[in-house]
Structure 1
Amino acid sequence: MRLLLVALFLLGVVRLAEGKGRTAEIKDQDEEEDSYGDELMDKKEERRGKTPRLSRVRTEPRAPRASVPTKTLKSQEEFNCPIGCNCNKTHVACVNADADASLFQQIQPIAFPALDTLVLTGNRFADISGKEGLFGNKNQHEYLSLVNLSDNRISAISQQTFINMPHLEWLYLSNNRISTSSKNPFGGLAKLKKLYLSNALRKQAISEEHLSTFFDARGNQLVHLESIDLSANNIKSLSKDTFCKVSGVAELLLGKNQLSAFDVAKNCLNGLRRLDLSGNSFTSLSSSLFDSLPNLNALDVSDNPIECECEMKEFIAFAQKENARFLNQDRTLCASPAALHGQSLFRVKMESVCVPKSSNIFSNLFLLVLFGTVGFFVYRFYRHRIPTPAVFQFGRSHPPPVYREIGEGGRIIQSRGASPEEEDSIFENPLYTFENPAWAR
């Protein structure tokens, strides 16, 4: 009986403990729901401008709720990007889009206000010499610093072409067909630093007179221009003052043209430090080039048909002494004379460059005497082989002819004098006349 009572007591205790646990769990759940409801009520009260009531807000952090996915909108630059191009806030690139000049109208400053780099290559722009600039209405890209217009079949430019880019520093126009341009077409680019015109000009634009107007800068124009690339344009000649109005140029690239001379006017290109004349038609050079360009410290004259003759002796000596100022020395070779063909100009021996004139005189005299002596002996040898005429006589005093019979091998078989009948027949021979005497055999 006692055991039964003890068992019932323990069972009641357990049931009581379970009931208290459930009550505490329900209470906590109710409090959480009440605190969440209080937060919502507080927000509503704040919107109405009332002071939020005190609420039982939980201090413990609540588990994060699942976020609702939101739709990402395109940026202004991506929305206005031309078809076939890639755009972001600062860059626009249209490569091999095969577009015409109307493409510039789609790249307005209002659509790309922070544009810094513009790359348009592999298109067909042709004539871009309009009066309102590339982007029309004289709209300016204030932050545009680099423009690459290479390989676009551009045929005409003018100073108005680039008026929309007042802060442009790098301009690429390589691999085009420019044949028409106004005077000083880049004068409006006050901050231009590097200009690339490699393989960009056609015959009409590469004449000496036309090139002299390409850089006819005035006042404060092109004062920051540091580098000009005019390589691979078939330029045959340049006037002395072509680059005098861009005195700040430090690098001038004229490689792969047809130049045979490069002269600079006095006080012109004083700041030039690097000059590329490789791949031209220079046969001789003068060290005075460094005198006219006082700051020149890098010169490239490789791949030229240089004649290492007497006229080049001074320059070769200077080049070997100041070899640190020359580029591509392994490709700076002598084209002539034959003894030095293919040798590096910086490794030839000075005594083999030019033979003294006195040695040439003595060698020529020796050859003249040698040929004269040989000719004299040849004359003496052949003179004795010329036959002499016989003396003509009348009567029996004439020596009787001798008849010889020749056998095989040229041997004389029999020799006899002439008979009286044969002697008389001599005078009947018409060859024996005063006008035509017979010759002794």
Structure 2
Amino acid sequence: MIEKVLVVVVVIGLSFDGACAQGSCRLNEYEMTCRGKNSLHELEKGKNYAEVDTLNVHQAGLDLSDDLFPNGINFSRLTLLNATNNEITRIGRRGFDKTRHVQFLYLSNNKIAHAQPDPFQSLEKLELLEMDDALDGNGEDKADMLRNFFKSKNNFIHLSKIELNKNRLDEIFPKTFCGVQGLKRLELSNNRLQSFNFARSCLGELKALMLAGNLIQKIPADIWDFLPSVSSLDVSNNPLNCDCETVRLVRDDDVVFINQAETKCASPPEVEGKSIFELRKDYCSTARNPTGKSSFFQFIVLFVIAVGILFAYKKYRERLSHMSSAPVGYTNLQHEQAVEPEFV
């Protein structure tokens, strides 16, 4: 009897594993969730899914350089596509041709290493693009992919938020986001970026920039020239060099710095580990600033030298005046003291 029960359990388990491996979809009014390989290709052809506005697809092994749905499947009202956790390695324009109304696209936790030119061209209504921990390849390859994403015939006038956190990005080409006209919030946290490498006149409408957890040491003094509209900035957990220029920059502007407690100095040594916002107000005075000390010392030396030169010049004038006095000679004697010639 026990043996029969075990056989039944094993058979049921194998059947369940097989079903999961093939994939299945579940529809809940306006939201569909598909899980497993080829799950989307098992949808009933000819059926109208026009009522669905949210589609979640996971562990399906998608290839987004090809059609996302088979022919005859209608998702005409789809506005949210969640394709996270799919081990996606390729994306292209064809993968999104049948999802033209998507406004919110989630592609996080994938392994995208190849991107065809202009993959998001058809997504003219896109408002949010989330690609956290989504890119694979070396630093240059990923920088090239990002440039291809947004070098587009689509002006992205509605795309207000882009998330590219945790992608191990070493660099970003300065004009990467120049084609995203609607961009208001850009997240690039927990990468390996070392500088603010953004072209001027490209991000004039950007309001929030998140750069926490990178390798940035210096905030450029002219940052507000190429990011004129930014009102929120996060540079926490970066190895900041807290020189006086940077200290004045973060204190004097009206920008809101996020995570101030974690925005700490890595140098100079006397303030290492301290929040740049907790430094004393006299930090950049001559008493604390090494540059100020040097300048003060130079002033004292120059002052002493000037006093010495003035003193020496005064002594020289006195000596010169004394030496130039004419001796009293015969012609200078008074008349009554002169010797009159005697006549006989």
Amino acid at match of 1:334: C
Partner of 1:278: 212
| 1:137 CA drift (Å) | 2.7
Cα 1:104–1:145 shift into 2, 3 Å: farther
Q: Matched residue of 1:352: which SS? A: coil
Q: 2:44 & 2:204 partners in 1: Cα distance?
A: 40
Amino acid at match of 1:188: S
Q: Matched residue of 2:55: which SS? A: strand
Q: 2:104 & 2:201 partners in 1: Cα distance?
A: 27
Is residue 209 from structure 1 mapped to residue 144 from structure 2 by the alignment? Answer: yes
**Pick from 239, 242, 245: which aligns with 2:179?**
245
Query: What is the root-mean-square deviation of aligned Cα atoms in Å?
Result: 2.5
Q: 2:281 & 2:46 partners in 1: Cα distance?
A: 64
**Pick from 138, 143, 151: which aligns with 2:77?**
143
Deviations 1:107-127 (A, max 9, x none): 667242311111122x14143
Q: 1:118 & 1:107 partners in 2: Cα distance?
A: 16
| 1:103 CA drift (Å) | 2.4
Which runs of at least 4 in structure 1 moved beyond 6 Å after TM superposition? none
| 1:251 CA drift (Å) | 0.6
Amino acid at match of 1:86: R
Q: 2:203 & 2:219 partners in 1: Cα distance?
A: 19
**Pick from 94, 116, 119: which aligns with 2:53?**
116
Partner of 1:88: 28
Partners of 2:25 and 2:40 within 8 A in 1: no
Q: 2:46 & 2:213 partners in 1: Cα distance?
A: 43
Deviations 1:224-278 (A, max 9, x none): 1111101100111111100001121101000000000123222201110010010
Asked which structure has the greater RCO (Cα within 8 Å, sep 6+), the reply is 2
Q: 2:131 & 2:25 partners in 1: Cα distance?
A: 24
| 1:356 CA drift (Å) | 2.2
For 1:157-306, list aligned pairs within 5 A. Answer: 157-203=91-137, 206-218=141-153, 220-306=154-240
Q: Matched residue of 1:164: which SS? A: coil
Q: 2:131 & 2:222 partners in 1: Cα distance?
A: 28
| 1:211 CA drift (Å) | 2.1
Q: Percent identity?
A: 32
Q: 2:208 & 2:148 partners in 1: Cα distance?
A: 23
Q: 2:192 & 2:218 partners in 1: Cα distance?
A: 14
Is residue 346 from structure 1 mapped to residue 277 from structure 2 by the alignment? Answer: yes
Deviations 1:355-378 (A, max 9, x none): 126638969xxxxxxxxxxxxxxx
Show structure 1 runs of 5+ residues with no match. Answer: 1-81, 364-441
Partners of 2:162 and 2:185 within 8 A in 1: yes
Is residue 103 from structure 1 mapped to residue 40 from structure 2 by the alignment? Answer: yes
Partner of 1:356: 291
| 1:352 CA drift (Å) | 3.3
TM-score (ref. length: structure 2): 0.73
Deviations 1:40-81 (A, max 9, x none): xxxxxxxxxxxxxxxxxxxxxxxxxxxxxxxxxxxxxxxxxx
| 1:185 CA drift (Å) | 1.1
Partner of 1:40: none
Q: 1:161 & 1:236 partners in 2: Cα distance?
A: 28
Deviations 1:325-378 (A, max 9, x none): 211111100111221011111121354353126638969xxxxxxxxxxxxxxx
Partners of 2:165 and 2:191 within 8 A in 1: yes
Show structure 2 runs of 5+ residues with no match. Answer: 1-21, 299-344
Q: 1:190 & 1:107 partners in 2: Cα distance?
A: 28
Amino acid at match of 1:318: L
For 1:65-76, list aligned pairs within 5 A. Answer: none
Cα 1:153–1:228 shift into 2, 3 Å: same
Aligned residues: 273
Amino acid at match of 2:61: F
